[in-house]
Amino acid sequence: MTKKITSIILAAGKGTRMNSILPKPLQPIAGKAIISHIIDNLYDCSINDVIVVINNDNDILKDYLSINYPEIDTVIQQNQKGTGDAVKVVFNEKDLSNSDGVIVFFGDTPLLKKSTIISLKKASTEKDLSILAFKAENPEGYGRVIVRDGKLESIVEEVSTNKENKDIDLCNGGVMALRNNNLKDLLGQLKDDNPKKEFILSDMVEIINSSNGKADFIECNHLEAFGVDTKKGLAKAEKEFQKTLRNKFMSQGVTILDPDTVFFHHDTKIEDNVEIQNNVYFGKNVTIKNGVLIRSFSYIEDSTIHENATIGPFSRLRGNVTVGPESKIGNFVEIKNSKLENEAKISHLSYIGDASIGENANIGAGTITCNFDGKNKNETHIGKDSFIGSNSSLVAPISIGDHAHVGAGSVVTKDVEEGNLVLTRAPLKTVSNWAKKIFRE
């Protein structure tokens, strides 16, 4: 019989140290909100019963959850009286009697691994209490985990440490898994007899032990328990998450010439034999197919790049772009909301927007699709095997037929039929002896 696990995510803090109008749990890591990292990992570990504790003023977070996770319950902690109080509020407002285990997470820990969550899930039904713990080179600021004879005895908060336990390097990671055995009554034993007058969840260790329960700990890497509470911390978490993504892609065979300069979105997909040069940024919804070369200083989002295409250097792709196999997008080319068929070439200094480019079409330097008339975005169609000369302006809506040619420097305002050549140029004018006149002056 499958056991039911309920996860409680504590996200009721004010997050004032973040100095942002965006709530702390919604700060992005690799383009994804911190709390979404946590929730999605829980779902991936088959923990589907999720309750998020928020504060009374956090409408932005509440709205985000209702839109993106309408199945999730939220509970309001009216007064921020500590982590223990937040969990008590959940038990007072929700009937968790059919849950076999409860795991308490924090809404600012995006680096927690799925393997650790699975360990916590298992512990929540096998032991009365299990905490997440990590070893720190400098334990200052963390609660110390006191273990005697292999048994978790207590957690001592930093303010209560003494000479005997101050140098203990095993620290409290905050996350706690609890067997739901008379748990609501045990939570009622929490007291606020501390300097902050708060109900501290870590006091549950001693309560469980005094009730003849079994308390234990699960050790993890210290970064998994890292809580993001400042913009500096956000940057640190981003850096660590990017390391994980880079290592994942390189282990799959992707060549990344200078990993520290390449940034991925959480949903980036890359196939085999891809090479990425330095200083490349991937935004949301990017898929890179086999054999693609991404050259330096390129920015790519909301795009699919097919087999053996070359992008960059200094290319920008955005807003629903498809690049066909063997195509070449060169330096200082921007493409927006366009589809390129096989072997299309846009080598340099061009803007292509709201366009379809046919197979083996060649777009010369300085070409612009004039897609916006001040009110509407208009489409450009360029047929297969067509040639657009350098410094041309294609005023949309417009269609250039297959095998058609547009002469360099042309402003084209009407459709071009298949196989035709069009060009627009002012007549050449020569002024004799112009240089002599200038120098005499």
Active site residues: 348
Question: How far is it, in rounded angstroms, from Cα 404 to Cα 383?
Answer: 8
Pick the closest to residue 146 from 216, 201, 212 (CA basis): 216
**Angle value at C-alpha 158, between 152 and 163, nearest 5 degrees:** 80
Pick the closest to residue 384 from 355, 343, 333, 327 (CA basis): 343
Q: Tell me the two tokens of residue 84.
A: 């223990």
The type of residue at 156 is V
Per the document, the length of the chain is 441
Q: In b/e form, how buried is each residue of 317-347, taking b as 16+ CB within 10 angstroms?
A: bbebbbbbbbbbbbbbbbbbbbbbbbbbbbb
Question: How far is it, in rounded angstroms, from Cα 23 to Cα 60?
Answer: 7
Evaluate whether 147 touches 153 at the Cβ level (below 8 Å). yes
Q: Regarding beta strands 387-388 and 328-336, do their DSSP bridges make them parallel or antiparallel, or are they unpaired? A: unpaired
Evaluate whether 143 touches 172 at the Cβ level (below 8 Å). yes
Burial of 72 (0-12, 13-18, 19+ CB in 10 A): middle
**What one-character DSSP code corresponds to residue 160?**
G
Pick the closest to residue 204 from 90, 108, 85 (CA basis): 85
Pick the closest to residue 267 from 226, 304, 297 (CA basis): 304
Question: How far is it, in rounded angstroms, from Cα 172 to Cα 200?
Answer: 12
Helix (H), strand (E) counts: the chain: 8, 35
